[in-house]
Structure 1
Amino acid sequence: MRIATSTLNQIGPTGIAQQQSELLRLSNIIASGRTVSLAGDDPVAAAHAVVTKTALSANTQHTANQDAANASLGLESSTLNSAVTQLQKIQTLVAKANNGSLSDSDRAAYATELESARAQLLALANTTDAHGNYVFGGFQTSAAPFSNNPNGAGVLYNGDQGQIKAQVGPTRQLAVNDPGSNVFLSSTPSVASSIATAPSSNAGSATIGVLSTVQAGAASNSDAYTIAFQKDANGNTTYTVTDNTTGTTTQPAAYSDGSAIPLGAGQTLMIHGAPEAGDTFDVGPPNAAQSNVFATIDNLITALRTPSQSPGGHANLANQMASGLQQLGNTYTTMLTTLASVGARQTELKSLKSVGSAKDLTYSSQLSDEVGLTTDKMPGVYEQLVSVSTQLTATQTAFVKTQSLSLFSLIKT
């Protein structure tokens, strides 16, 4: 069979070029550690790899969101812990100031201490993160959420009720903040205690004692009550309890200093001292003003700066202190409830982080299996490389020899 020289010259370089291309491809696989660099290398594997890369990228973003969320919640947690400590200091100051033996100047000194503690609590309520965003402003993170009320006690809330949420999982969004109005200006309904108050018009020396819950969960615990004192025909002090929610009033009962006065089925209130006829005490769920911790502190400061010379004045001050302590106790409970919520979210983030790390390993391993040069594939690639290299050498040698074949080399001169 005869093969034209032109055919040899065409087949040889083409074969060499193809083998060199395959040799280069195998060398690139070994160098890059990837069996699929282009979609054309393996369309099916490339398509699977795109899906896996998308999942891996989303998981990486969720992990970044988890880290950012944990940082935000960590700052809120540390701030709330500081606020709780500050509130405990305020409660201690009020308890010390609620002492009938103190002089007006002594009480004024406590009022000054309360002013300083209030300023520190307000600074905590206006805490910012590393980027200057206010922690307790809801969605309004660029302006201070709290400012002093120029027209009275308490503060103005300049934020909103929003909660910023982060996408921390494929189907999970997590709140990374709590609006300050829920922390500093409200009481948690499920755990808030009723508040006992006495009007300043009371003429007797009776003061608010311990308000106790004797049956948690009783429906009547959320009712509002008024205890009214009278004198019977013999001049003995009696009282009635009116449930202002249901409109019912009890029959007059004899008053005994320090005895527990029933309020519905679930609460009792002790009253100490000698009430006068016409004196009243109110007990009910905290209203908005009583849930505003800054208004509570301001009212306590005002009370401490007001001279109290008469027995009635001393009783009025003691009642304001007792009521204020109850209000501060509700704020304390609200802060602890919020802290527990923040801690639960941080625990969830820790769990999600662990799941995300496992997913990252799974997706990375899956991607390696789809396009990577795994240990089980490596021997085959090296075998192909040696085989193609051998073939290329043989092809080049054969081509060189065919190039030297010519009839002219057989002509003897």
Structure 2
Amino acid sequence: MRALALALPEDVPSVAVIDEVPWLVEQDREFEGALQAIWDRHLSAKPVMLILIGSDVSVMEALREHGRPFFGRAARLAVNPLHPADVQAVTGLDAADAIDAQLITGGFPEVVQSWEPGMTRQDFLDASLTNPLSPLLMSGELTLLSEFPEAGRASAVIGAIGNGERTFSTIAAKAGGDAVLPSGTLSPILNSLVAKRVVAVDNPLSTRPDTKNRRYRIADPYLRFWLAFLQRGLPQIERGRGDLVTARVERSWTGWRGRAVEPLIREALGRMLPNDEWDGTEVVGGWWNRQNNPEIDLIGADRAPVAGTVHFVGSIKWFGTGVFGRHEYDELARSVLAVPGTTAETPLVAVSRCGVALGLSLAATWGPEEILGAWR
């Protein structure tokens, strides 16, 4: 740090970048104090922009907390992945297929750039899964190795959630192997993963508080795809049988996509609302009971985590073919009164990949173009 202070000029603007800051903090407990001392005594008086980079968000945010040496000396800038409209611009896909590409790539630029314009989803997977060093394969492995260098219980918990386990009890059973993982062990692991933004937590949204039915999911779409399909397929890909992994993706794609797209659609509606039609809708979530019967895809409300008013109840139909029809509408209408805060007059809405049938009493509908438009 002293050498850096001496090397930077006094009269010419310069930029200094320090990468892997979370690793530095973990390896050297004096790093933060040294950084503060050098900044205060030398660097702050020079025309320098000091950029500190780290992918562990919880550690980077902690650097700016009150009581830490570097408090009050830095501004936070989150560098997010590309959003779905960006992915569409790079890949040249239509709206529905661009959303598929978002679910596969997560918007990571290196992975998105390997999706050549004009490639279908099958083309992209065929090309990526025949090359063990493709960005689609390597990025997930490198991410987990950098965040969790030692395989252990945290990795087992991530694997369980990535393979579809959503509740505390099922995660404990899956991650524990031969024995259920004790609550005292699993709870701090989940709390750490949530703090690191690796895992997201969803709670049912209604006018009644409910923290016992929380659901866990992998926060990043790309890592969710990688854990579900690619991680266990790496040995097959390395021996030249990427076709087996591609076939596995195709067999499960429709069902997996239907669940994976839900957070993205809720985020899109959250960006679009409130608007003139839904002027009080500030949050969009979902609702379920312990038995997931019913499980409501969309709840529009005035606030969270406990709503004052439920503005609409909705369903997502994101299959490859088939419109949102009478069957889906009747199922939604039967389920609406199960949600605390609803009445028979609560408006019904739908999001569909392939359109909506005529004659349904829906207050609003959205398709791929509208969902993608939330980021334009």
Normalised TM-score (structure 1): 0.25
Normalised TM-score (structure 2): 0.27
Larger Rg: 1
**Bigger relative CO (Cα 8 Å, ≥ 6 apart):** 1
| Structure with higher helix content | 1
